[in-house]
Amino acid sequence: MSNYVTAIGLDVHARSISACAFDPMTGEVSRARFGYDPASVAEWALGFESPKAVYESGPTGFHLCRALRALGVDCAVGAVSKMHRPAADRGRKNDRRDAEWLARLLACRNVVEV
């Protein structure tokens, strides 16, 4: 795994992407929401210092990962079966919270890549 400073979690759907950037050194959290447009996600992500992005594997496939890599953003697809969610979070699931959870997992280097 490469060295990175800003961990970016993406909650990806067919028509929208919720993003959360987390800097573990400062604790700063930034959020954004996009239509399904890899270029706008890449532009936002490259505004942070040494970003790496992650999203959960699923029906959206690897298109976003390939597109972000082509645009200069280090991106990974995490194995959803290997990500353990706390029991308290199961009833409070939403896109913004999922993106933040992924960013924090990535910052802890606790993501198993597909």
- Terminal-residue alpha carbon distance, the chain: 13
pLDDT of 88 = 61
Q: Provide the edge-to-edge strand list for the sheet that holds 16-22.
A: 29-35, 16-22, 6-12, 51-56, 74-78
pLDDT of 10 = 96
Q: Which domains can be identified in the chain, with CATH numbers?
A: 6-108 (3.30.420.140)
Q: pLDDT digit of tens for each residue in the chain (114 aa)?
A: 456 689 999 999 999 999 999 999 899 999 999 999 999 999 999 999 999 999 998 888 899 999 999 999 999 999 887 777 766 666 667 888 999 999 999 999 988 888
Q: How many Cα atoms sit within 13 Å of 108 on the Cβ side?
A: 10
pLDDT of 94 = 82
